Amino acid sequence: MASPAGSTSCPKRPPMTRRNPPSSPPGSDSIEIGALRPPFAPRDAASQWFFSLHRLGIRPGLESVRELLRCMGNPERDFDAVVVAGTNGKGSAALALDAYARSAGLRCGLYTSPHLLDLRERMQVDGRLIDSATFTRLIDEYRDLIEDCQTTFFESLTALTLEWFRRERVQVAVLETGLGGRLDATNVVRKAGLVLTSVGLDHQELLGHSLEAIAREKLGLAAAGVPFYLDDIPVELRRLAEESIRTAGGEAIELDGLEATEICVGETVQGKLQRRQLGRMMTVYRDLARRHGWPEADAARALESLDLPGRYDVRGHSPRLILDTAHNAHALHRVIAQFACEGRREQRVLVFGSVHGKEIDSVLPELVRCCARVLVCAPDWYRALDPSWLAGRLRAIAPEPAAIGVCNSVREALEEARAFGPDAVTLATGSNFLVAEALDRLGHDSLTGQSGLWDSGAPLRRREPGAKA
């Protein structure tokens, strides 16, 4: 298929390759995307082709995505955007800002990552996911151009999302960074504001091996005349943050220094971090609205439509099940601290799994202290840690090694946890992929809005290898 009218060919670029370190645990070797099974396998032909772009690896830099956007007519110049970065919490922050903007009557685009069950979860306008037909048309229109430019999976999806936002005539967009900030594909938009939610250790192979190095990458979003809101930033990094933003000509704004916004969250949001962030992001929205002349947000209306899947997400009450996508030590310390307040220790069950490349050693002692039972499993993902290997690490430090069990699947772990009875409380965490698989087994559907629960006693959904999602 020919490239869109008015576009030009882009120079082909070599992919950046990534290799597993010699100390990789069992189960870390990569496989072809085509070998993935539900719920992680692409759901349609368009998504399947898009997933094939993973072959290009991760290539930090803006040259390729800027060239692609130039060939598309620079859609990123047609609207203002708020870009949200952070090691953890940026997804919840982006969802909250989008909800506040929509409650104010603004036509808002939302771009987040990663998705849980369907690629199209990443692209929303006015709270609605892009429909399959529109997504397929966009891919058909720009597929040849993307191939010519050799842009990566994330670069290509970012560009298509920005073009869709232009066609949908959004007034403002909220974009969650994919990785870092300085060289992230989202760092090409017309910025109305920037948010940094947190700085912790994650993706060190690409962002650096110290908090300072990682902070510099995220602060690289700073731009002249743009307010940069700083939330949960370690004290030792605040001077670096202020100097980096000032050097770029931006304005550093400590959220602790702004008048706090009190909102009534109610019972719809259970996570302490999320509840705190809702107030913080309302403060950010109000300050941006004052600067840009946006309408005032309606917090009550925003919270009615706000959905935070996988963020201390309660999916059952008798027994209680909580799903959380915490996947690095920084996030796991926090979610385990909150989970430790759920009932008595003998009632708490942990379903845990992780993937290769995450430094979780510092949090392992907390896992075994917090819960009477730990069920280790592996999500059906090609970079999942071998559960027997991980269980061995936990047993070596557990006061009761027999309390560490190994399950053959996420489904089996959830079934075993549910068997502990109606008074038990289970947390499933450690990986986005584990939570995605749990949601799938519970019957959650991000496209229809069907919400899966497990306290009905209904059998968890079973999927055979190769079955359609």
pLDDT tens column, 373-425: 999 999 988 889 999 999 999 999 999 999 999 999 999 999 999 999 999 99
pLDDT band at residue 257 using 50, 70 and 90 as cut-offs: confident
According to DSSP, the residues that pair with 123 across neighbouring strands are 111
Using alpha carbons only, how large is the chain's radius of gyration in Å? 22
pLDDT at res. 358: 87
Q: 384 with 27: CB under 8 angstroms? A: yes
Instruction: Report the C-alpha gap between 287 and 261 in whole angstroms.
Output: 11
C-alpha 99 chain-centroid distance: 17
Please give the Cα distance from 332 to 393 (Å, whole number): 17
pLDDT number for residue 331: 92
Residues 6+ apart with CB under 8 A from 74: none
Whether residue 25 has pLDDT greater than 60: no
Question: For position 5, what pLDDT does the model report?
Answer: 43
Position 1 scores a pLDDT of: 43
Q: What is the pLDDT of residues 70-113, one digit of tens each?
A: 999 999 999 999 999 999 999 999 999 999 999 999 999 999 99
Query: How many Å apart are CA 134 and CA 122, to the nearest integer?
Result: 14
User: Which two tokens mark 160?
Assistant: 């298509």
- Of 126-140, 147-161, 251-265, 404-418, the one with minimum mean pLDDT is 251-265
**What pLDDT, on a 0 to 100 scale, did the predictor assign at position 14?**
47
Residue 374's CB is within 10 A of a number of other CB atoms, namely: 25
Take residue 302 and report the two structure tokens written for it. Answer: 């925003």
3-state secondary structure of 65: helix
**Helix (H), strand (E) at residue 228:** strand 227-232
According to DSSP, residue 161 is labeled H
Question: Quick one: residue 433, left, alpha or beta (phi over 0 = left, psi -120 to 50 = alpha)?
Answer: alpha
CA angle 182, 187, 190 (to 5 degrees): 140
Domains annotated for the chain, with CATH where assigned, are 33-305 (3.40.1190.10), 313-441 (3.90.190.20)
Q: Where are the beta strands (DSSP E) in 235-312?
A: 251-254
pLDDT value, residue 381: 86
Q: Taking 50 as the threshold, does the pLDDT of residue 18 lie above it?
A: no
Give the pLDDT confidence score for residue 22 in this predicted structure.
32
Span of 138-152, 272-286, 398-412 with lowest mean pLDDT = 272-286
Residue length, the chain? 469
Give me the chain's average pLDDT, please: 86
The pLDDT assigned to 412 comes to: 95
- Residue 97 pLDDT: 98
Mean pLDDT calculated for residue range 297-314 = 89
Binning pLDDT at 50, 70 and 90, where does residue 459 land?
Answer: low
DSSP conformation class of 348: E
pLDDT confidence of residue 268: 60
Distances 367 to 45, 102, 271, 371 between C-alpha atoms, Å: 41, 39, 18, 7
Classify the phi-psi angles of 13: left when phi > 0, otherwise alpha if psi is within -120 to 50, otherwise beta: beta
pLDDT interval class at 452 (50, 70, 90): low
Cβ 192 vs Cβ 292: under 8 Å: yes
Q: Find out whether 413 and 407 touch, Cβ atoms under 8 Å.
A: yes
Whether the pLDDT of residue 364 is over 70: the answer is: yes
